[in-house]
Amino acid sequence: MKAQTTTTTITNTETTMAKTKVNTRIVAVILSVITAFSITAVAFTSASAASVADKVTMLKYKGDTIYYSDEYFKRPSSQYDPHLATLSCIMTNYTVPLNSPKSVTDSNWYLSQPERLNGFFNTIGFKDFKANEDYTKRSAFDTIGVAAAQKKVGDYTVIGVGLRSGGYFREWGNNVYLGDGTKSDYMHEGWYNAANKTIKFLNDYISANNINGKIKLWIAGFSRGGATSNLTAGLLDNKIDKKEKIFTSGATLTHDDLYAYTFEAPQGANYNSKNVKLPGDQIYNNIWNIVNPNDLVPKVAMSEFGFTRFGTDKYITTKFFDAKGFADNRNTMKVMYEKNGHPWSGYSADEFKMYNLPIKNAASLITKLSSSATSDAKNGKNPIFEADTKKINYDSNIATTLVLEETTRNIGNRANYCKYLQDGVSKFLLAFMSDVDAIKNEDLGKIAKNLFLSKLCSQLPGCKEKADKLVKEALPGNKDAYAIRDALDPLLSILVKVYIERPNELVSTMLNISSVFQNHDFDVTIAHMEAQDNYYIDAHNSANANKINIVPLRDCADLGRVSFKDYNSLTLLDSTGKTEHIKVTGAKLEKSVIHKCDPGFAVGYYSYLTEDKMEIFMPVGQTYEMKTKAYSIKPKHTVWYKAFYQSAGPNKDHRYKDDRGHFEDWFYMNSDLMEQKLNMNYQFSHK
């Protein structure tokens, strides 16, 4: 049933909070009439970011507040639109199943899955809804659910395309299927195939509905759906740039008429591709990727293998990148989160604590390895793991980045991944991410942790029995438990190596896994999107005494990083050399002491017997002065420092993820008990 619209008007601007309140009696009458349809509509006018009046309709669909306007599609797609971004996120949410089928023979359940998305499109005035066959049958390794609907806006036909963005079930195995690149122009093979399926479906939809002339394409997706949306839009942008005929009908699509929004999308494009322009090219400036820096998922597939996203990344704010305004910003997000029916007591995405495993507790770990280790550590009950006081201001972004970096280094290259890891990890996910009795994320995390600990135990003398017990605990009642463990053995072996190199980061990621994964939660992302949309902020402020402020997305979330070895005294200052951000002192024969680390900066100190290693992290876009002193008691040693940055935002050449740099200086000493002091000024800025 179509939405009904009233003529109540509110004047609203980006910079001025609306003061006019809708007459409550009128609203009460309206609500009483249309509640039966579960859709409420209120039309109002607003000035957009582009100072174009939007005739916006406020709608209610299944409890969600939706602001819709045809004007969204009258602005160029290369202009980021917070209202269309929020609408895209909500649209994508309706592609996700609310539950699982009771059995794989429940054909009615599979056939009904696109109906929630159909209802959304119907609510905003789109018609002729059609879902592909993959959306209405049991998912498999290589399926992709996609659906479309259309609406006439002026001389254009706007086609909305939603990619299934949750409840993939058996498609999970496809997410880790990188392929060697030869069948996918070096892009992620799984998502590349899904993108081409999407383009074919779109062509069939246009032909079946006799759509001709100018069209506007609006596509969105989250996670796997986001990666597929990103590649779909990127491939279409290349066809447009090459002036290729895209559709078999007379429909035409231009660059400014392709609107693509992705959310927490992993990386599927690749700099080694031969048939498309480099991912940072301007032809992709109509693709907008909203990313939470603390989310693990958008960090894969690995940048070191050439993977990235087409288009422009915009970032949800975190404590590290907005230390001063974080509390105020999270208050706004909290209001949106609770407004949508979620208790704040269940929110933990911003929590991340660094832990370590003291040498004295290593024996306890072997005898007490179990799921209780996590709760003990967090509840302070005789914990095996202790708080890591040598890592200051580390968050999920830093810890998971370091773990992934070390994992990638041990894999070596994409060919090794395909040869040794791809099939095993894919089969593991296929076995457990079923549509019947699916395993929850937190349970999957426990399984992965037990299998890792089993592998760790198997490396220790006299611990085979404990290792076998951990496998059985991880996969109770599964006759294929050991086969699954063996399939994952190459990955587990690599994780053991990662543990040796980055023990605290890997342990901390495991112990914080629930909060890490909550950064990849749809409800959390929607709250973030509404917090950056003034329509939602103004509506709250006009009706509530506790005013909240808009939370704009960031254009950059780059981390500057400097590593030191055999340096154990450091001061990081601002460009004037007067304000200290980080201060660590040390002396010959003594361990370093961290005296200061400002919010928005991080420092980690490692002591490996007679030598010291430090890493510091800072936001780029600023200039710093750094002073260091080096000490060592080793008769013959090399002192070095290394700095690099990994850019995830636009630079002056409009490139993304390809902007990396590093330098190293080496100082070789031959003296006994040598004290080397070195002072340097280092200008670190992102250009």
Q: How far is CA 328 from the centre of its chain?
A: 22
Q: Which of 121-130, 149-158, 298-307 has the lowest mean pLDDT?
A: 298-307
In the chain, how many H helices and how many E strands?
Answer: 21, 27
**What are the contacts of 665-670 at 24+ separation with CB within 8 A?**
665/640, 665/641, 666/638, 666/639, 666/640, 667/630, 667/638, 667/639, 667/640, 668/638, 668/639, 669/632, 669/636, 669/637, 669/638, 669/639, 670/636
**Amino acid identity at 236:** L
Say what the pTM is: 0.86
pLDDT at 52: 43
Indicate the domain borders of the chain: 1-77, 79-315, 355-508, 559-676
- Average pLDDT value for residue range 194-202: 98
Kindly state the helix (H) or strand (E) to which residue 174 belongs, with its residue range. helix 172-175
Q: Report the distance separating Cα 31 and Cα 25, nearest Å.
A: 10
Q: How confident is the model at residue 443 (pLDDT cuts 50, 70, 90)?
A: low
| 3-state DSSP assignment of residue 560 | strand
Task: Please give the C-alpha separations between residue 497 and each of 361, 408, 494, 554, in angstroms, as whole numbers.
Answer: 20, 11, 5, 35
Q: What is the greatest pairwise CA distance in the chain?
A: 89
pLDDT greater than 60 at residue 246: yes
Q: Is cis: bond before 301, omega within 30 of 0?
A: yes
Inform me whether the pLDDT recorded for 364 exceeds 80: no
- Sign of the C-alpha dihedral, residues 63, 65, 69, 70? negative
Picking from 333, 334, 347, the residue whose alpha carbon sits closest to that of residue 551 is: 333
Q: What is the pLDDT of residues 120-151, one digit of tens each?
A: 999 999 999 999 999 999 999 999 999 999 99
Three-state DSSP class for 184? coil
Q: Cα–Cα distance between 311 and 255 in angstroms, integer?
A: 13
DSSP 8-state code for residue 250: S
CA distances from 334 to 92, 316, 328 (A): 21, 14, 10
Helix (H, G, I), strand (E, B) or coil at 337: helix
List the beta bridge partners of residue 218: 160, 259
Q: Determine the pLDDT at residue 647.
A: 44
User: What are the φ and ψ backbone dihedral angles of 226, each rounded to 5 degrees?
Assistant: -70, -40
Q: What is the predicted pLDDT for the residue at 483?
A: 72
The whole-number pLDDT of residue 435 equals: 76
Contacts of 102 (CB under 8 A, 6+ apart): 109, 436
SS3 readout for 71-116 = HHHHCCCCCCCHHHHHHHHHHHHCCCCCCCCCCCCCHHHHHHCCHH
515 or 462: which carries more pLDDT confidence?
515
Enclosing H/E stretch for 562: strand 559-565
The burial class, CB within 10 Å (0-12 / 13-18 / 19+), for 196 is: middle
Q: Which of 235, 246, 232, 143 is nearest to 195 (CA)?
A: 232
Q: Which of 167-171, 256-260, 404-408, 461-465 has the highest mean pLDDT?
A: 256-260
* Residue 670: per-residue pLDDT: 37
Q: What pLDDT is stored for residue 430 in this prediction?
A: 75
Mind giving me the DSSP string for 26-42? Answer: HHHHHHHHHGGGT--EE
Other CB atoms within 10 Å distance of the CB of residue 684: 19
Q: Are 534 and 550 in contact (CB under 8 A)?
A: yes
Q: pLDDT: is 638 or 252 the higher one?
A: 252
Residues 6+ away with beta carbon under 8 Å from 443: none
Closest of 420, 400, 397 to residue 410, by C-alpha: 420
How confident is the model over 266-299, as pLDDT tens digits?
Answer: 999 998 999 999 888 899 999 999 999 999 999 9
Q: How confident is the model at residue 6 (pLDDT cuts 50, 70, 90)?
A: very low
Identify the CA nearest to 582 among candidates 569, 563, 596, 592.
Answer: 596
CB 526 within 8 A of CB 90: yes
Beta bridge partners of 152: 157
Residue 666 sits at φ, ψ, to 5 deg, of -120, 135
**686 neighbors 560 (Cβ within 8 angstroms):** yes
Q: Vertex 520, ends 517 and 525: CA angle to 5°?
A: 140
pLDDT surpasses 50 at 549: yes
DSSP, residue by residue, 431-451: HHS-SSSPPPHHHHHHHHHHH
Contacts of 462-470 with CB under 8 Å at 24 or more apart are 463/366, 466/366, 466/369, 470/369
Asked whether the predicted pLDDT for residue 228 surpasses 80, the reply is yes
| DSSP 8-state code for residue 319 | T
Q: Note the pLDDT tens digit of each residue in 37-95.
A: 333 444 444 433 433 457 899 999 998 999 999 999 999 999 999 999 999 999 999 99
The closest alpha carbon to 366, from 446, 456, 445, 468, belongs to 456
Q: Is the four-CA dihedral 486, 491, 494, 500 of positive or negative sign?
A: negative
596-655 residue pLDDT tens:
999 999 999 865 444 567 888 888 777 778 877 766 555 555 555 555 544 444 444 443
pLDDT at 280: 83
Chain segment 556-580, per-residue pLDDT in tens: 888 878 877 766 678 888 888 889 9
Higher pLDDT, residue 38 or 30: 38
Q: What pLDDT shows up at residue 48?
A: 37
Report the pLDDT value the prediction gives residue 630, as an integer from 0 to 100. 67
Alpha helices in 360-395 (DSSP H): 362-368, 372-379
Q: What angle do CA 335, 339, 342 make, to 5 degrees?
A: 95
Question: Does the domain spanning 79-315 belong to CATH 3.30.300?
Answer: no
- In whole angstroms, give the CA distance from residue 641 to residue 564: 4
Q: In this structure, are residues 509 and 400 in contact, taking their beta carbons and an 8 Å threshold?
A: yes
Q: What is the mean pLDDT of the chain?
A: 80
